Chains A and B, each alone.
Chain A
Amino acid sequence: MLRLDCLKAIYPELENCLAVTIMGATAAELQSLGHRPNFFYLQHAMGLASSTGLGLALSLPEQKIIVLDGDGSILMNLGSLSTMARYRPANLVHVVFDNESLLSVGGFPTATGKGTDLEGIARASGIPKALTVRTVEDFGTAVKEALARSQLTTIVAKVEATGPSGYVTDLSLLENRFQFRRYIQSLKRPGS
Chain B
Amino acid sequence: MPVSVASSKVIFDALKKCDVRLMSALPETWLVHLIRMADDDPEMILVRLAKEEEGVGISAGAHFAGVKSAMLMQNHGFLASINGIVSFAHLYKIPLLMLISYRGTFGERDPWQTQGGNVTESLLRSMSIPYSFLDRADNVEKRIRQAQTLAESSLQPVALLLMRDLMWEE
Contact = CB atoms under 8 A, between A and B. Distances in A.
Interface residues of A, number: 36
A80 B56 CA distance: 12
A44 B91 contact: yes
Given A54-B47, A55-B22, A80-B54, A45 B61 contact: no
Given A45-B84, A51-B58, A55-B60, A174 B47 contact: no
Contact of B48 (A42, A43, A80, A83): A83
Given A45-B84, A83-B50, A86-B48, A51 B56 contact: yes
A87 B25 CA distance: 14
14 contacts: A18-B64, A43-B91, A45-B84, A48-B84, A49-B57, A51-B53, A51-B61, A55-B59, A55-B60, A55-B64, A56-B62, A58-B58, A177-B92, A181-B64
A132 interface: no
Given A40-B64, A55-B62, A77-B51, A48 B93 contact: no
B49 interface: yes
A91 B124 CA distance: 36
Interface residues of B, number: 32
B58 A181 contact: no
A80 B22 CA distance: 17
Contacts of B69: 55
B66 interface: yes
Given A59-B67, A83-B50, A173-B91, A52 B57 contact: yes
Interface in B58-76: 58-67, 69
Contacts of B94: 177
Interface string A50-91: 111111111110000000000000000101101100110000
B87 interface: yes
A56 B54 contact: no
B60 A52 contact: yes
Contacts of A168: none
Contacts of A79: 49-51, 54
B107 to A, nearest CB: 32
A114 interface: no
B45 interface: yes
Greatest chain A CB density within 10 A among B48, B50, B94 is at B50
Contacts of A53: 61
A169 interface: no
B64 A48 contact: no
Interface in A134-192: 173-174, 177, 180-181, 184-185, 188
B93 A177 contact: yes
A52 B92 contact: no
A48 B56 contact: yes
A24 interface: no
